[in-house]
Chain A
């Protein structure tokens, strides 16, 4: 979907004030009403967020102790167990997924935004939209057929590939859109100074679009981190430490899935603990990335 940069001079008329009520009082009331609705929208966003977060933390924080982070899963009657291997497994899976999807996604986004002819671009965007609409479980099934069956084994590699496919469309779309929003002036200036195209893009256009791309990347990673279904068919899960990229691996989402609603208290608690840790991991990554790309003052 094209994000058009459409400045005033492009011939698109602003919906000027000749349309609508002339009476200033009416306009002001209308404005206040609409702004009130905006506040309602914000409340509608915050309330469920706080409700879910509070519940997750209240349920999950009691589970966090040293054992939780250092020990392996154990019997339901054993209070000294943990999900250490799941935490490591999540990081490993996301690492592999990012390694695959970030170059692919950003590269594809660059091509669409900077190089592609309009027909090919339509096709590319279409493919991206299709991919984003594929349910994650279908991706899991696809990677199962492609990687797990030939390898005769569930593996971290398969899980990483599945998550990469989940992340890809978001990365491509946001890279493309954010690059398009970078004003042409930036590129023109660079070119005028004699920079080659690749430098213009990589050193000037891309960094300008970077905060938005980072948002997209974080959303993609957050989504991948919270996925369970594709991992069921690819990574399988592992109650031991993962011993290599071709062996099954565990992830926090799998632990939450398998342990949630179990009749055993300790497992249920670990499930919430896993949810809390996962949420915190994403939050911290988000904060760090934001700090690193802090928008400079003003607009």
Chain B
């Protein structure tokens, strides 16, 4: 019965795989409770403290102390704990994950967060379809998007800087660019590095004569939204021809996927320039340019210049704020807020425990959480904006009752 034996063994092997899968699915919950202490138990990805070193690009001042090392705490994840699902922007991942970890270990051990960085647009889509509890987005919703998600509110969390990162051998001091040159580079008018317009801003620097290889995002992104908003603000021609958005029809350039994609392309391509979140330039040790802002001052991308960008802005009712091309002399011109998106009446949340936990987290993040922003190179909202955010938070309800009672 050789045939039978072979077939049996065969079926056993193949179904073993399936059975393992089924078994694990069945007791997925229970397995969790026996998980030994993990260092960051019920949390989503957490960013570490940044310790940027001085480099050729923006000379960063070293951070003020690293965040405390996470401690081992056994937390039972499984029955009894509250899992909150979110998705969206990649830009604030380092600070959000720090917040999730801190909140779950120091404030409420029963709460766990699962945040997936699928991009601002993905987050907007998900919250509109109500497949997640909250979303993160660097781009405020357009009117069209608002009409599809009635009752959705924006909660600004932090502001960050988008920097022009470049790869130029032999140029050690950071380049200086301004709105006109950046626009010229990204629409193809300025195509070589030693163009007169760039040279005018960088006296004394020997610029190589090669072509400029432009790099932009291939996927829809809040970073692109901030960057193209800036270009539209400084160039009416750009505004009509290309415009601003999470995805645009770029006149020139290669596309890289995600901040890492752009960073990677820039790193590998000599003579290239792209735009990335400050964190990516710093962590990958890529040179990034200083910018001449609207007031004519040459500024470097730092937490302070990002804070300055948010100075003196008029905050609209719905918190859809744009802070590009700020008039403040100390402001970094390409900055933007990032938001957490929730429904005002939390009608997408399935139970009260989750609603309360999410509300409490939002309150905590706008107060205690903001203390961690500077270390991670984000700017916290100014005092008056913070007050307005508090009022907004108080208006969030679940089943008619306010969620935050502080």
Contact = CB atoms under 8 A, between A and B. Distances in A.
Do A and B interact? Answer: yes
Contacts of B280: 263
B48 A76 contact: yes
Nearest to B281: A263
A76 B46 contact: yes
Contacts of A292: 6, 9-10, 12-13
By size class, the interface of chain A is 35 or more
Contact of B45 (A71, A239, A289): A239
A95 B16 CA distance: 9
Interface in A256-299: 258, 260-264, 267, 285, 288-289, 291-294, 296
B147 interface: no
B131 A154 contact: yes
A99 B46 CA distance: 35
A149 B131 CA distance: 7
Contact of B21 (A70, A92, A293, A296): A92
B130 A241 contact: no
Contacts of B117: 258
Contact of A264 (B48, B67, B258, B263): B48
A243 B69 CA distance: 28
B28 A78 contact: no
A196 interface: no
Interface stretch (B34-42, B220-228, B288-296): B34-42
B403 interface: no
Interface string B9-48: 1101110011111101100110110011011111111111
Interface string B105-130: 00000001111111000000000011
A210 B282 CA distance: 55
A257 to B, nearest CB: 9
Given A236-B85, A241-B31, A289-B10, A94 B21 contact: yes
Interface string A201-236: 000000100100010010001000000000010001
A98 B40 contact: no
Interface residues of B, number: 70
A86 interface: no
Contacts of B22: 95-96, 99
B101 interface: yes
B40 to A, nearest CB: 4
A75 B48 CA distance: 6
A113 to B, nearest CB: 18
Given A94-B21, A148-B131, A244-B28, A76 B47 contact: yes
Interface string A90-109: 01111110110010000000
A182 interface: no
Given A73-B45, A75-B98, A95-B25, A248 B114 contact: yes
A200 interface: no
Given A95-B18, A96-B21, A285-B17, A244 B12 contact: no
B77 to A, nearest CB: 6
A245 interface: yes
A93 B66 CA distance: 39
Contacts of B112: 240
A240 B24 contact: no
Given A75-B97, A92-B24, A154-B85, A214 B14 contact: yes
Contact of B40 (A72, A95, A154): A72
A81 B69 CA distance: 13
Given A95-B22, A156-B25, A78 B40 contact: yes
- In this complex, the member of B36, B46, B129 whose beta carbon has the largest number of chain A beta carbons within 10 angstroms is B46
B54 interface: no
Contact of B28 (A72, A92, A153, A289): A92
A92 B115 CA distance: 21
Contacts of B46: 74-78
A288 B48 contact: no
B331 interface: no
- In this complex, the member of B25, B112, B129 whose beta carbon has the largest number of chain A beta carbons within 10 angstroms is B25
Nearest to B129: A149
Given A75-B70, A240-B114, A243-B78, A96 B131 contact: no
B172 interface: no
Contact of A240 (B20, B42, B131): B42
A91 B20 contact: yes
A60 interface: no
B101 to A, nearest CB: 6
Given A239-B44, A292-B6, A293-B6, 15 more contacts: A70-B36, A72-B38, A74-B43, A75-B45, A95-B18, A96-B22, A149-B131, A152-B129, A243-B32, A247-B83, A261-B258, A261-B261, A263-B283, A264-B283, A288-B13
